Structure 1
C-alpha cells in the first residue's frame, strides 16, 4: 500500500498540465417568444400545433396560434418549428437531507465506522447547488421535499433566489409515530411524538417557517395495531388543517393508508404494497380527493445496493451524481462483519419483481383508472435512488404499470401542482403561470424517451442550455468511466473518452490501445464475460487536468489486479491513459 501511495505521489508531482476550464451556462431575462411550437396541453390532454408563447420576466403573458399573435419588438425569439413544448416537471417526493449514496441512511445500513454519517450530511450541504442543477438538466423544475431538518426552509429561500435552482416546496421534520436510530439529533429530520398534544405542538413549531405542507410518518411495528397511534395521526392532521396546510402521510400498508385517508390525509406519499385496492379503498381515495404518489422504484434502489445486483440505467450514469453512484458498489469491498450481512446471501432472497412490486404496479393502475390524482415522485436521496436521474426510471416504471404517456406527463406536471395546491402558478402552459418549460425535439406523447433529451429549458422565464448545466471536470470524467466500468455499460464507459484516446504502459511507453473502437472491442468482451467485474478506487489524486487513481480490480481471476491509472483530460474528454502496474486494468 505504501509503495502504491508513493507511486501516486510521484506521478502527481510529475503532472504540470493547466487546469481544465468548466463552462457556466448563461441565462437571459429579456422578453422571450417561442414560436411555431407544438404545445402539450396537459389540461385538455392534447397537442396544440403551431403555437406561440410570450414570456415576460418569469411569467407566461400570452399563448395562442402563431398566426394570431404578434411578437413584441426587441423580444428574443426561439423558432420551435417541428419541436414540442411542455411544462417543467415536478418530483413530488425527495429528501435533501439524504445523498442517495450507500452511507446516507445509517438506520437502514449502519456503516458509520467506514464512512461517518456527518460526512455524508456535509456532502449534501456542500453539493446542493450541483444537485439542483442536475434536477434542471433532467427537466425537473420543481421538487417537493417531503420531510427533513429545519434547514429545509433555508434551502427553499436560497432556491427561490437562484435561477439555476429548482422551485422547492418543503416541510420540516416528519411528525412520526416511530423514531429510527442513528440519524441527526441536532437538527432532526424525524421527530417521534407520543401524544396528540406533542403532535399538535410539532405542527405549530413549523408554522413560523411557513411550510408548504406537513408530513406524517405513520409507522407501525410488527404486532402493533394500526389504530393504536391513529389518535396521534388525527391530531396532527387536524392541527395542520386548522392552519390551512395540506397533510402528506407515509402509510405503505393498506390499513395505515386507509386510516390516514379517513382521518383527512390529503396526500399519500407512497404506494400501498401489502394488499390490492378494493372498491372501498378506491372510493375512499376518490371521495377524499386524495393524492397518490406511488414511488415505485425506491425499494428497488435499496435492494440492488444491499445485494450488489445493479442495472444502472443510462440516465443514472449520465445525470446522477457520479460520486454518490460510485459509493453504491462499495459493499463489494467492505468486510461483511462490518456490514453485518453478506450481500451474496441476500441475493438468494431477492426476487425481481417481488410480490410488493407487483402489488404496487397493480394498485397504481387501479387508482389511475378510478380517477384518483396520480403524482410522480421518486423518494430521491434514499440509498440507491439518486437525486434527479432516478426520475426517468420512475416514469418508465409508471409506464410498465399500464399508464399512457399523457397520463404520465400529467402526473409529472399539472397533477403535482394541483395535488400540492400550487396549480395557480405551476403545472401547465397557460397565461399567468410561471414560465417553466421544456423544449423537446421529439413528441413525448409518442415516445416517453423524448423526456430524456431536452434541447432548451425555460426556468422562471430565463433561457438555459440544458446541455451545459452539469459540471464537466477531470475528476467527474474519471469517476463516470469508473462507474460505467463497474456497471459493465460499454457506451457509458466510452462516453468520457476522446475518439482518439491513447492508452499506454507508463513503464515501457508501449501503446496498448488507440481510439474508442479498439477500446470498444476489448472492453465489450470483458464486460460480457466478467459478470462479477469490480474496480475499487483505493486512492485518488487530482492535479489540474490529470487524475491519478489507485485501482484494485476483482472478478478477473483469483487475485485482485492492482494498478495506478493516470487519466489526462483535454477539451473535456479523457485523451490519454497511462498505467503503472504489475497488472493492467
Structure 2
C-alpha cells in the first residue's frame, strides 16, 4: 500500500521536471558605500603579459580611481580594505559570442534537429525567458563580467537593457536579427532571430530598422549552400557593411568557409565570429586579416559540442557539472531514452560513423594558432546557447582548448580581456586594469599566467565595483542537487556524482533498511559500477519536489539490459547537500 500511495501523485511531466526554473543564488550582494581598496596585490598586466607585484587598486563609484605601487597610494578614509597579499588580480573576462535566445539544451535549435514532438521549441524559448537572470548570474560566477550577444530577435534590445540594470548580471552588448543570405527552418517567425534578405536594398533596410534601437554592432549571416556561388550574394553583404559603417557601427560576419570569409573581410567586415573550418589559412588570408585589423573569434568547440551531443560522446568536466544550468545539461543525454517514434536519427549509428573531434576541429585549432602567431586580434567567444555549448560553463572549456591549440596563458588571457574590448570598441572602459576604467576584476589565489586552470576557481568577483563570490551567484535548491547528481550518474563521472552529497550521507532501502553510509562507501560502490556498466542511463520519468525532499520515479537502462529497471528514489536535503536517499524497487 505504501508503494502504490507513493506512486499516485507522480504525475508531473518529465518536461516540467527537466526544465525547472533556476533563479540566481540567494546570497545577499550589496553595492558597498565608500571606496574599496585592494592592497598589496599582484596585478596581471594583460598588455605586457606579466604580473606586477605589490600593487594597490582604489575603486570608487564603480570605477578604478587609482592604481600603482602600494607605497605610492595614499590611505583613504572610510574605505573597505581587502588585503591582496599573495593573491592575483586580473580584469573580468568577456564571452564575445553568445545568444540570449538559445538555452544550450537539446531542443533549442529545431533547424538543426527537430524534436518538437518531444518538447516544443516554444517551451524552450519560454524557459530561456523565465531563466535568463539565472543564466546571467552563472556568467558572473565564472568570472565573465561582459557578454556580447551576436544576433537574436528584436527583443534582444529590451533584454540588454534589463540585464544591464541588474547587479548580478554581466554587462551586455548586443545586436538584433541577423542580416542573412539564408533562412533556416523551424525558428521563431513572430520575432525572428534571422531575417533572410534577397537584395542590397533589403539589407540596407534591415540595418536602418535596427539603428534607432542603438545596436552595438550589426551581424551578417553569410551562408553559401552547396551548388551556390559566394559572389552571388556578395552584394547583400557589401550593402549591409556599407550601411552599418555609414551609421558608425562595426560589422560582425558569420563566414566559416575560406572563400566567404575572405570576401567578407575584403568587403570591410570588422569581426569574424567563427573560425574558418574548411581550409588552413594561407599567408594571403592571414595578412589580409592583420592589415584590415579584423577580429577573429574562433569558437573552437561549438561544432564539436553538437557532434558530441548527437553521438552521445561526452567529455564533461567538473566545471561543466558545477556551473552549467543542470537542467539544460541534462537534456543533452535525452537522446538515450527517446523511443523510436520520437527519434530523428540513430545516435548509436552516428557515433560509429563520426569521430569527435573530427578533421574540421583540427583545422580550427591550426587556424587559431596561425592567426595568433600572425598578429591577428584573437578574441574568446563560445557561441553559447547552441546545443551543448552552455551559457557560462562552456567558456572555461574554450580557454582550455585554446591552450591545446598552442596559445600561451598570456595570449589566452589577453584574448579573454583586452582583445575583446578592443575588438568591439569598448577598451576605453573595459579590458584592462587602468585608472578610469570600469572596476570589473577577478581576485585569484594563484597566478593565471602560470596556471590557467585557476580561472575555474575564482576567489572573488568584482563587478562594477561590487564584491561577490561564486556561491552567492549559484542557486542551490533540492531539485538542482538531485539533477546535478543525475547528470553525473549518466555521464559516469564519480567525482561530480558525489559532489552534491553530504560526507555522512546515508542510503536506505525503503522504508529504513541501511544500505550504505558515507560518501566514500558510495564512491567504492558506484565507481566500480560506472567502470563496468556501458551506456548506463537513468531517465527521470516523473519528479515531485516537496520542500527539502525530491522524489524521482526513475527508469534505468544499460548495454544489454532487456527491460528498464524501475525505481523510486527519495532524496532528502539538509544544509545544502543530499543527506539521505531512500530507494523503492
Give the TM-score taking structure 2 as reference length. Answer: 0.96
Please give the residue correspondences for 1:261-280 in structure 2 after superposition, counting only pairs within 5 Å: 261-280=265-284
Match of 1:528 in 2: 531
Structure 2 CA distance for aligned equivalents of residues 6 and 110 of structure 1: 35
Measure, in 1, the Cα distance between the counterparts of 2:183 and 2:249. 24
CA contact (8 A) 1:500 1:516 kept: yes
Task: Quote how far apart the aligned CAs of 1:23 are.
Answer: 3.3
Distance 1:446 1:8, change over 3 A: farther
The count of residues paired between Structure 1 and Structure 2 equals 570
- Of 458, 465, 476, which aligns to 2:462? 458
Q: Counterpart of 1:352?
A: 356
SS in 1 for 2:531: helix
* 1:317 match: 321
Moved >4 Å (runs of 4+): 3-6
1:28: which partner in 2?
31
The answer to whether the 8 A contact 2:88-2:443 is kept is yes
Deviates more, 1:109-118 or 1:24-33: 24-33
Structure 1 residue matching 2:52: 3-state secondary structure: strand
Q: Deviations over 1:201-230 (max 9, x none)?
A: 000000111000000000010010111100
CA drift of 1:120 comes to 0.2
Residues 372-431 of structure 1: CA deviation (Å, up to 9, x unaligned)? 000000000000000000001100111000000000000000000000000000000000
Query: Cα distance, 1:67 vs. partner?
Result: 1.1
Match of 1:18 in 2: none
Contact 2:25 / 2:471 at 8 angstroms: preserved in 1? no
How big is the shift at 1:62?
Answer: 0.5
User: Deviations 1:101-153 (Å, cap 9, x if unpaired)?
Assistant: 00000000000011010100000000011001000000000000000011111
Residues of 1 paired with 2:564 and 2:10: CA distance? 23
- The answer to whether residue 296 in structure 2 is matched with residue 292 in structure 1 is yes
Within-5 A mapping of 1:475-486: 475-486=479-490
Query: Does the 8 A contact of 1:455 with 1:467 survive in 2?
Result: no
1:513 aligns with 2:505: no
**Superposition map of 1:6-21 within 5 A:** 7=7, 9=9
Alpha-carbon spacing, 1:576–1:203, altered in 2? closer, same or farther (3 Å): same
* Alpha-carbon distance between aligned partners in 2 of 1:81 and 1:311, rounded to the nearest angstrom: 37
Q: What are the Cα deviations for residues 445-489 of structure 1, in whole angstroms up to 9, with x where unaligned?
A: 111101000111100001112222100000000000000101111
Other-structure match for 2:146: 142
Inter-partner Cα distance in structure 2 for 1:542 and 1:8: 14
Q: How far apart are 1:29 and its partner, in Å?
A: 2.5
**Residues 155-214 of structure 1, C-alpha deviations (whole Å, 9 max, x = no match):** 111122111111001000000000000000111000000000000000000011100000
Give the conservation status (yes or no) of the 8 Å contact 1:25–1:465: no
CA distance in structure 2 between the partners assigned to 1:78 and 1:478 by the alignment: 36
Tell me whether 1:542 sits opposite 2:545 in the alignment: yes
Aligned to 2:370: 366
Alignment of 1:109-508 (within 5 A): 109-507=113-511
- Provide the C-alpha distance between the structure 2 equivalents of 1:211 and 1:349, rounded to a whole number of angstroms: 43
5+ residue gaps, structure 1: 13-20
Deviation at 1:337, TM superposition (A): 4.1
Q: 1:419–1:180: structure 2 CA closer, same or farther, 3 Å change rule?
A: same
List gaps (5 residues or longer) in structure 2: 13-23
Contact 1:35 1:52 (8 Å CA) reproduced: yes
- 2:18 aligned residue: none
SS in 2 for 1:432: coil
**In 1, Cα distance between equivalents of 2:413 and 2:480:** 31
Whole-Å separation in 2 of the counterparts to 1:244 and 1:8: 62
Query: Secondary structure in 1 aligned to 2:147?
Result: strand
Q: Supply the distance in 2 between the matched residues of 1:554 and 1:241 (Cα, whole angstroms).
A: 56
Distance 1:411 1:525 in 2: 41
- Separation of aligned partners in 2, 1:436 and 1:22: 20
In the other structure, the counterpart of 1:17 is none
- Between the aligned partners of 2:5 and 2:231, the Cα distance in structure 1 is 59
Q: Is 1:61 aligned to 2:65, yes or no? A: yes
Correspondence for 2:21: none
Task: Kindly indicate whether the alpha-carbon contact (under 8 Å) linking 1:8 and 1:564 is maintained by their aligned counterparts in 2.
Answer: no
* Paired position in structure 2 for 1:71: 75
